[in-house]
Structure 1
Amino acid sequence: MSFSKSLNRAGAGMAMLSLLTVTGCSAESQNADQKSDPHAAHRAALETGDARHEMVSADVTLSDAPMVDQDGNPRTLASDVVGDRIVVVDFIFTSCQTICPVTTSLLGEARKRLEHIPDSQLAFVSMSIDSNTDTPERLAEFAARHRANWTFLTGEKATMDAALTEMDAYSTNPEDHAPMVLIGDAQSGHFVRVFGLPDPAFVESRVQDYLTMREARCDDPGSQEHVEHAMDTHGGPQ
């Protein structure tokens, strides 16, 4: 934007300088907080109201490498846990004290809203992002504490890191991971990435959108592209 008067330019410059100064101080403060509190980044996200959500189309590959669930059973994500279901995936670590418990509770509420959909069509999955710590026993305790009656997965670090990377959910430091949920239909391969704490009603509506997409494909296979485009651009079928 151009300004006709030098005074306005100077004012804009001072405003930018002030913004940079405040931002810099804020960043320094946050870094200092993180040294004393490893969960500072998560607390900041909660305090700044990171419950808003942003949805974007996602290019996702689901791993079929060997993992293990919270009951100690060998599982694979793609062919076993998900199959051709609609799926909601989130990313947690059991020592998390802020965002992960909140996310899990919100997804529990979403699952209640969707309990009329059979397990053969819909799966909820929580992926560990700290597999060195998250044993099946710890995952089971976390799931029980937050009343999460769905599949939690962990495994060898190299396996989990590769799987998370394929889903664009890998973080070198678990405490720094941002709240994010993947929702998609493994049958069609269409996924969306939802940033921010998941609103149960929003998750419910996205899953219902995928059910609508499936019905549309059955009625008119050529309609899939239109429905997916509507979902990407407007948040749901039109």
Structure 2
Amino acid sequence: MITSHWTPTIKFLRLLLLLTLGITGGSAAVAEDSGSSTPWGRDYFPNTELVNQDGQKMRFFDDMIKDKVVAINFIFTSCTDSCPLETARLLQVQKVLGDRVGKDVFLYSISIDPETDTPEVLKKYTEKFRIGPGWQFLTGNKDDITALRKSLGLFIDGIDNGRNKDHNLSLIIGNQSTGRWMKSSPMENPYILADRLSKTLQNWKDASTNDQDYASAPTLRPPSAGEQIYRTRCSSCHTLGDTQNAGIRSIGPDLIGVTRQRDPQWLKRWIKEPDQMLAEKDALAMQLYEQYNNIAMPNLRLGEIETSAVLTYLAEETERLQPEAPMAQDTHDGAHQHAGPKIQQQGG
């Protein structure tokens, strides 16, 4: 049956679209510009009861989002692909924001597998990733959590209610008191996400103080396919010779020189199917797993072309930042001959 009245969820999705695109119009703009109360309040959001990793009960509206700037995503701790990357990326955001998290910015990760993810399991998960204070991991009743996901526009029929706990990659950030909400990718640059949470959503009515123009902007080179994959997937957990920002990425090793240190076939397989290599107890895979706090390398579901693109980018970036010394020359008998190729040691 088709009616002429929009449901609250459809209204909320429309608002998300407008705000994500930077459009302020219609009822959303009227509510914001007039200073009237936001429609996205107690009457819209369910006041679902959840339990955090410390066993504390929390109401979704009253305790978690009311009059707060928040970031909310949905994960489950046994996930071996996207969830660890989401957690790693938000961990970077938390490190950028520092002690503002838990004071004027609040981070929430809610389990979609509450039967498995008890408070005790969530607590161990936060310890494994070394989550700082102010970021809550929560569980509760499965049906209530599904209803909550739907109210936030983070539930897609055919994906989120399918088998094997598949779920869409989504993150919502917002300021409940102003009614300003944005749907974002959890793989977004951590500095951009942090800026939106600490500035855009806090002071969105203030005029911009940026007086720079396009004439002073530097010329940027287009990223290769491999660089795009690295920045959206790999950089959640790894650095690439980026010592300046190394403090926000401490989950995995730096990748400069990895194409010189590892056997190419081993490295290619490790990128494509790390979960299988860990299941097989591959010696080097297990060493890395134990070295980095038992956080498993997630399966990024990359194909042959994508894997090759990433490895090419890592090799090119290594050569750019750490060019190999010129080959030694043999002057015996006055003839200048190049020495044989350098043999790289396999890292442990």
TM-score normalized with structure 2 length: 0.43
Q: Hey, what's the Cα distance between the residues in 2 that align with 1:90 and 1:167?
A: 10
For residues 174-195 of structure 1, the C-alpha deviation after alignment (integer angstroms, 9 at most, x for no partner) is 6421221111101111100013
Read off the aligned partner of 2:203 and give its amino acid letter: T
SS at 2:46 equivalent? coil
What does 1:201-216 correspond to in 2, within 5 Å? 201-207=191-197, 208-213=199-204, 216=206
Which residue of 144, 153, 158 maps to 1:159?
144
Change (3 A) 1:116 1:99: same
SS at 1:172 equivalent? coil
Change (3 A) 1:135 1:116: closer
Change (3 A) 1:133 1:118: closer
1:95 equivalenced with 2:117 (yes/no): no
**Residues 55-64 or 86-95, more deviating:** 55-64
TM superposition shift of 1:128: 1.0
Identity of matched residues, %: 28
SS at 2:77 equivalent? coil
Q: In structure 1, what is the equivalent of residue 90 of structure 2?
A: 107
Q: Hey, what's the Cα distance between the residues in 2 that align with 1:80 and 1:203?
A: 23
Q: Hey, what's the Cα distance between the residues in 1 that align with 2:179 and 2:193?
A: 18
Q: 1:56, 1:192 within 8 Å by CA — same for their partners in 2?
A: no
What's the RMSD between the two structures over aligned residues?
2.5
Read off the aligned partner of 2:146 and give its amino acid letter: D
Q: Hey, what's the Cα distance between the residues in 1 that align with 2:195 and 2:181?
A: 14
Q: Hey, what's the Cα distance between the residues in 2 that align with 1:101 and 1:147?
A: 13
5+ long unaligned stretches in structure 1:
1-54, 217-222, 224-238
Which residue of 67, 87, 92 maps to 1:84?
67
Change (3 A) 1:142 1:62: farther
Q: 1:181, 1:198 within 8 Å by CA — same for their partners in 2?
A: no
Structure with a larger share of its residues in strand: 1
Q: In structure 1, what is the equivalent of residue 154 of structure 2?
A: 169
What does 1:50-199 correspond to in 2, within 5 Å? 55=20, 62-117=45-100, 119-149=102-132, 150-170=135-155, 171-173=160-162, 175-195=165-185, 197-199=187-189
Read off the aligned partner of 2:201 and give its amino acid letter: Y
TM superposition shift of 1:196: 5.2
Structure with a larger share of its residues in helix: 1
Q: Hey, what's the Cα distance between the residues in 2 that align with 1:116 and 1:133?
A: 31
Q: 2:90, 2:186 within 8 Å by CA — same for their partners in 1?
A: no
Instruction: Please identify runs of 4+ aligned residues in structure 1 that moved more than 4 A.
Output: 55-61
Q: Hey, what's the Cα distance between the residues in 2 that align with 1:118 and 1:154?
A: 20
Q: Hey, what's the Cα distance between the residues in 2 that align with 1:154 and 1:124?
A: 14
Q: In structure 2, what is the equivalent of residue 11 of structure 1?
A: none
SS at 2:192 equivalent? helix
TM-score normalized with structure 1 length: 0.61
Q: Which has the higher contact order (CA 8 A, sep 6+)?
A: 1
Q: 1:182, 1:194 within 8 Å by CA — same for their partners in 2?
A: yes
Q: Hey, what's the Cα distance between the residues in 2 that align with 1:71 and 1:193?
A: 28
Q: 2:51, 2:119 within 8 Å by CA — same for their partners in 1?
A: yes
